[in-house]
Amino acid sequence: MISVDVEVEKKEILRKYRRLLRWAKPFLKGNDAKMIKKAFKTSLEAHKDMRRKSGEPYIFHPLAVAQIAVEEIGLGTTSIISALLHDVVEDTEWEIKDIEREFGKKIARIIDGLTKISGVFEYGSSEQAENFRRMLLTLSDDVRVILIKLADRLHNMRTLDSMPRNKQLKASSETIYLYAPLAHRLGLYAIKTELEDLYLKYTESDKFQEIIKKIKATKASRDRSIRNLIKPIQKEISKLGYKFEIKGRLKSIHSIWNKMKSQNIPFEEIYDLFAVRIIVDTKLEQEKAASWRIYSIVTDYYQPNPDRLRDWISTPKANGYESLHTTVMSNSGQWVEVQIRTKRMDEIAEKGYAAHWKYKDTAGQESGLEEWISKVRELLEQDDTHSAIEFMDNFRSNLFQEEVFVFTPKGELKILPAGATTLDFAFDIHTEVGAQCLGAKVNQKLVPLNYKLKNGDQIEILTSSKQKPSEDWLRHVVSSKARSKIKDVLKEEKKAAALVGKEVVMRKLKQMKIEATETTINRLTEYFEAKTPLNLFYWVGKGKIDAKEIKKFKLASNYELATKKDKILDATSFEREKTKVKEQETDMLLIGEDMDIIDYQLAKCCNPIPGDDVFGFVTVNEGIKIHRTTCPNAAELMSNYGYRVIKAKWTSQKEIAFLAGLKIIGTDRVGLISDITKIISTELKVNMRSITVDSESGIFEGTIMLFVNDTIHLNLLMDKLQKVNGVVKVNRFDS
């Protein structure tokens, strides 16, 4: 039986390898095929006794990553070899020097960038953030490292079903926090969309399945609408003699869910559920004219929404995306987005960075994407002194979704992140101009440093040699370059103040007879809510924290609490050190791999209640905190501190009250509040903590904080309130 399975697996491995070669064939040169075969055999041998969690042979994974690299990203031989070998150094006895000897320096450098760091990390740092930094630093050297890493992440997300729940949450959070924005920034729209949808599948599985069900149910009517919409357009474009294709495209599940959540509307109320994409095959010099000609045909038949015209052909997005978007009213009374682009633009939109290289010679100029990568390289080279987590925050702020287009006094176009200020613009011109910036003239009018730039603004920066950056400036900038330069200027001043502060803290601890260990300093940092010990010393040095306040630390309850919970630092030590306590009637939560009953606190940022999908997070000195998987802080916590995440789920529900918030919107009438409070207090016997009501122009808006037993109790209450005459919407919110 086993031998038959092995034979079947061998055939499947061979089938996958041959498929990879078929895709690679068009661009193979010289001894490329030989090198790919060598890499495949090396990987097969190195991973021969390894299996994935799903039970399948490990070699399936590197083969799948190589397939994604070539088929979905459009990469070549070097990337295929690197993808096949990407886990060899990390998981087997092979070393980088062995890779270099067998496959050369270039491949070895890429594998080195893809290999995670292992070892012990100091307190306040994060293994995940350190590995992200290591990977991202390779942008300075070879962008293919990140493209292969995205292929690796995509395959891991596609096969996440076999992983335990806490690992699913950790991987999904990292994906939405870093990898999906990175895919977007590198122009890989198809991969970005799939990563976002897979994130939703594992964090909000009920919502994910519900949206899929509704999409299937409305498919027939949607297809009919698309057919009716494109019929006359197809006829007219054919008359012009263009080669073209028209596709109907549904919005991604994640973007549908985002819209439902941000606008508090049901699936049925999303008006632009699908888009129509018109792809025309034409010469480079005729692209712009052809696109506007097709736009003219579309708007001859359907009324466009003037506020929804987006021309990314004249001014492409910073990641190289080019397309013409308009939203038109169809004959059936639905708004439909129409995207018009050429075959070249479509390939760049789907394949991103790799497609840019294919068309680089024909386009003849550096793309916005290459300019962005140059800027990121500059940022990475300057940023080596910051902590890995700070570095991650800086980098993420550079993965902005939208841009603002502005001009210098001489008419030179500058592209900055949306939300950028005059100060961002000044630092973009030159570090010295930024550091001496007093204000600016925007369209000939004087504006302050924190003026937010708008598309089309023309900016002249005003400087003074007496001006110097202050810490407040960090609140007025959004670009990584500006933040990095301001921090560099402030760093020296901060070091001097921190040195003074450190002496004060050490002296005070000595007076209180508390040993100044690393653990004590970390507790003190947590007590004063400083991000790092350096910040704490700086605040003391600048007088923001009075030296007398340090005495309160000894008396504080969280100091005593921290002493008791000293041993629990992460999920591993939690499993090792946990003690089994007897079940009490009031315990509601099972925590950890063995599902034990342990002391915990409910996180105030998301107020979980029984029935919510939750996870446990081991804090530094407040024990275990329980968060909802949809908590606003979940993605960041799990991306930077995934090793502290532990399983948690609700068990038998006892009569305990948990705080929840409801937002109610409706049309105002006499007796409405009375009807609402009657259902809450009398009918369902729910205790209210507070109620605030605002009524304007006949519209009623109220927020209620109340105590419920669990999600079933809360949903029953919401259903009852929804039926009250005049109530339009009832939504839960994170208080």
Q: Which residues are catalytic?
A: 90-91
| Residue 305 CB neighbour total at 10 angstroms | 13
* CA 440/CA 554 separation, integer angstroms: 49
Q: Residue 429: which residues within 8 A CB-CB, separation 6 or more?
A: 408, 461
The two structure tokens encoding residue 45: 């041998």
* CA 647/CA 640 separation, integer angstroms: 17
Among residues 622, 625, 513, which one has the least CA distance to residue 564?
A: 622
Is the CB of residue 155 less than 8 Å from the CB of residue 289? no
- Type of residue found at 542: K
Q: Residue 699: which residues within 8 A CB-CB, separation 6 or more?
A: 665, 666, 667, 668
Is the CB of residue 198 less than 8 Å from the CB of residue 221? no
- Type of residue found at 332: S
Is the CB of residue 250 less than 8 Å from the CB of residue 222? yes
Among residues 636, 730, 614, which one has the least CA distance to residue 173?
A: 636
Burial of residue 192 (number of CB atoms within 10 Å: 0-12, 13-18, 19+): buried
| Residue 303 CB neighbour total at 10 angstroms | 9
What kind and span of H or E run contains 497?
helix 480-511
CA dist list (Å): 122 to 522, 553, 725: 12, 24, 59
Angle between helices 127-137 and 144-158 (to 10 degrees): 140
What kind and span of H or E run contains 489?
helix 480-511
Burial of residue 536 (number of CB atoms within 10 Å: 0-12, 13-18, 19+): buried
Q: Residue 195: which residues within 8 A CB-CB, separation 6 or more?
A: 153, 154, 157, 175, 176, 179, 180, 183
The two structure tokens encoding residue 552: 């309160």
The two structure tokens encoding residue 272: 């632009």
Q: Residue 239: which residues within 8 A CB-CB, separation 6 or more?
A: none
Is the CB of residue 615 less than 8 Å from the CB of residue 589? no
Region at 727 (left for phi over 0; alpha for psi -120 to 50; beta for the rest):
beta
* CA 418/CA 453 separation, integer angstroms: 8
What kind and span of H or E run contains 689?
strand 687-696
